[in-house]
Amino acid sequence: MSLVFTCSADDGHPADLTLAGLLREHGLPGTFYFPIRNQEGGPVLSGAGMRQVAAQFEIGSHTLDHQFLTRVGAAQAGAQIVRGKRELEDRLGRRVAGFCYPGGRYRPLHIGQVRAAGFDYARTTLNLCLDAGANRYEMATTCQFYPHARAVYLRNYLRGGAWPQRAGMLLRALGEPDWERRLYAMFAAAERRGGVFHLWLHTADVEAQSAWPALAGFLAHVAARVPPSRRLSNGALALRSFGALKR
């Protein structure tokens, strides 16, 4: 069965430059979702750093201030979405087509605001999926590169719906006590079934866990098993899965 691989990173941490280097080394595309600032206090790449990543990878928006949209009113949420896009485009000097909901928190109202702001697609944090998601503004993922306890996967499964489609990946996740073995087991299951394997991460977490060797090893494994024609950015996956957006 044919498998498509895509990778995305959230929050614009300066360590995104390290991830960009790893992806480039293994010939893998990636999508980086940048806020302009992080109100939680985390560091964010400078404009020069953002442009350095953007020279070779797709960049998406992550609001102006890494604002969880469900924690503010509609007007403020809309402003965060619109201003985040505008200021990021000003820094990069080009259009930004993709958006990622901070913390994976959003409501139907926010989907409409993202579309009205001119985005072509949006990514969620729904895990355990082997497809692109329900629609172009609720794109799903397969797993996060993080040493989660198995209970985290179970909670994500119960909250996310689409249970029959996601049950296979849940069983793979629950079947491995070690998080690195879990990652490889889920990837192997995806290879057998086909579809989309979407790995997402925060490089701040990779840095804090000293997990760069583990990430490098997994990306090398992916590069050895997924041909270049089936390695896609999030934007390319959205286009492949949902077609060109008609406004």
Q: Per residue of the chain (247 residues), give pLDDT as tens.
A: 699 999 999 999 999 999 999 999 999 999 999 999 999 999 999 999 999 999 999 999 999 999 999 999 999 999 999 999 999 999 999 999 999 999 999 999 999 999 999 999 999 999 999 999 999 999 999 999 999 999 999 999 999 999 999 999 999 999 999 999 999 999 999 999 999 999 999 999 999 999 999 999 999 999 999 999 999 999 999 999 999 987 7
Q: What is the DSSP string of the chain?
A: --EEEEEEEES--TTHHHHHHHHHHTT---EEEE-S--TTS-----HHHHHHHHTTSEEEE--SS---GGGS-HHHHHHHHHHHHHHHHHHHTS---EEE-GGG---HHHHHHHHHTT-SEEE----S-SSSBSSTTSB--SEESS---HHHHHHHHHHH--HHHHHHHHHHHHT-SSHHHHHHHHHHHHHHH-EEEEEEE-HHHHHHTT-HHHHHHHHHHHHHHS-GGGB--HHHHHHHHH-SPP-
Q: What is the pTM of this model?
A: 0.97
Q: What pLDDT is stored for residue 43 in this prediction?
A: 98
List pLDDT tens digits, range 107-164: 999 999 999 999 999 999 999 999 999 999 999 999 999 999 999 999 999 999 999 9
**Domain coordinates in residue numbering, the chain:** 3-240
Question: 3-240 falls under which CATH superfamily?
Answer: Glycoside hydrolase/deacetylase (3.20.20.370)
Tokens for 192, please give them: 């057998």
